[in-house]
Amino acid sequence: MKLLRENRGFTLIEVAIVMVIIGILMGAVLRGQEMIKNAKEKNFHAKIRFLASAQFTYLDRMGEYAGDTTATPDGIIDDNTTAWTELTYQQILKDVDERHVFNGQFTFDGGDAPYGNYNYILASRIPMWVAQSFDIKLDDGVGNTGNVRWQTLTGVAYDPTADPNSANNLYWWFDR
């Protein structure tokens, strides 16, 4: 009789308890992933805005944008390397600011279509959903119109049906 009791396997209650524990653990993992996702998105938004304000700080201090290398500054950033050298020399930015949380980097440039008279910050290799969320915050939420634009790494412009995690390059004409 004792032997029978010991070999009876798991009771329903025991199975239920184990399932509940597994459920709680999975919920915690998913919530954790969601929190990390949100934190990275917020960090990215804050960082790119910080870079724009860094250029305005430099403009205020030096009378021209960092990276505007024409002999008589024309207001258009034309050299990203110089932009970073000047911004870090003025201690407005640090070298590490050049990279973002999605493992791509920021580039300052300007003078390109469709807004040849203005400057942009390019953020490379960010998930499409982050590009879109930034566009919604600052612009129109559409990838091929307005001051915020994004496209795939191979230059395919705005495809709202694409995988939201696909890598995109984001352009923000921050001084327009």
Separation between Cα atoms, residue 56 and residue 74, nearest integer Å:
15
* Span from 5-13, 21-29, 81-89, 146-154 in contact with Ca ion (CB under 5 A): 146-154
Return the biggest CA–CA distance within the chain. Answer: 99
Q: Which of 146, 159, 166, 167 binds Ca ion (CB under 5 A)?
A: 146
What would the x/- binding string for Ca ion be over residues 76 to 115, using CB under 5 A? ----------------------------------------
Question: Cβ 132 to Ca ion, closest distance in Å?
Answer: 9
Instruction: Please calculate the CA angle 150-154-159 and round it to the nearest 5 degrees.
Output: 50
Q: Based on CB atoms, which residue is closest to Ca ion, 7 or 161?
A: 161
Tokens of 106: 């920021």
Separate counts of helices (H) and strands (E) for the chain: 4, 4
Q: Is 159 in the site for Ca ion (CB under 5 A)?
A: no
Contact region for Ca ion (CB under 5 A) — 55-63, 67-75, 128-136, 161-169? 128-136
* DSSP codes, 72-137: S--S----HHHHHHHHHHTTSS-GGGGB-TTS-BEEEEES-TT-TTSEEEEEEEEEHHHHHHHHHH
Question: Which listed residue (98, 109, 139, 159) binds Ca ion by CB under 5 A?
Answer: 139
The only residue of 100, 135, 151, 170 in contact with Ca ion, by rule CB under 5 A: 135
For Ca ion, how many residues bind (rule: CB under 5 A)? 6
| Other beta carbons less than 10 A from residue 17's beta carbon | 12
State the minimum distance, in angstroms, from the CB of residue 145 to Ca ion: 5
Where do contacts with Ca ion occur on this chain (CB under 5 A)? 135, 139-140, 142, 146, 148
